[in-house]
Structure 1
Amino acid sequence: MNKELVVSYEERLRKAMMQGDVDGLDQLIDHQLVFVNHFGQALSKQDDLEAHRSGIVNFSNITFLEQRIILLQDSAVTVTRAALAGMAAGNPIDEEMYYTRVWQMNNDELKVVSGHCSLVQ
């Protein structure tokens, strides 16, 4: 595993989130996902996919501003500062967030197994 590979998966995830590509997200997210959002809610993979499928979350822009990558044996941790624009539950989004994600290599594919986001104030 190398940083370039992790960056490419982060970019695939960013594009899938912006496009509302539920099939793409399904391929990138592990079935065991636990994602803690900025409200402190622990969400499953199905919760995350349903938010995109239903349009509860709809991003018009996601720009990565800064990214750190920690490589481990068969996994990687990413810490990404991102500018977001779009809608969430009918409310406009125009914020910066930090995302921390754990990517695990399984069968020559990286998948997100855990994530967390925090609002930049």
Structure 2
Amino acid sequence: MSKYSESQIIEIEVRLRQAMLNLDVAELDAFIAPELIFTSYLGQLVSKQQDLPIHQPGILKFRALMPSERYNQLNEGFSIVSVQMHILDSYEGTEIDQHYRFTRV
């Protein structure tokens, strides 16, 4: 079965959201695997090395990250989390109020 229980997965998701809200790049660095492949809402592929600098103060500022429609699937040796997120933030001064879906393994 998965290395983590469902309650541990939920706690990790909470910590990840807090790190994003607090612009805690060190915590994000610890959470994000070196081999990250992130697909942006524009369909662009982003690596960990490309993603972390965006979370530096001044570029991206999250005001709220509100999860809904969360699905956790525990498998042999890994888990899959899919969550819809209502995001209120600003990116380089442009205000954003959008719903996105994220899937993490």
Question: When the two structures are superposed, what TM-score results if normalisation uses the length of structure 2?
Answer: 0.91
Q: Which residue of 1 aligns with 2:75?
A: 72
**What stretches of structure 1 move > 6 A for 4+ residues in a row?**
none
Residues 25-104 of structure 1: pairs in structure 2 closer than 5 A? 25-53=28-56, 55-102=58-105
Structure 2 gaps of 5+ residues are: none
- Number of residue pairs aligned between Structure 1 and Structure 2: 102
Structure 1 partner of 2:7: 4
Aligned pair partner of 1:13 in 3, 16, 23:
16
**SS of equivalent residue, structure 1 residue 30:** coil
Greater percentage in strand: 1
Give the residue type in structure 1 aligned to 2:49. Q
Q: Percent of aligned positions with the same letter in both sequences?
A: 31
User: 2: distance between equivalents of 1:87 and 1:57?
Assistant: 6
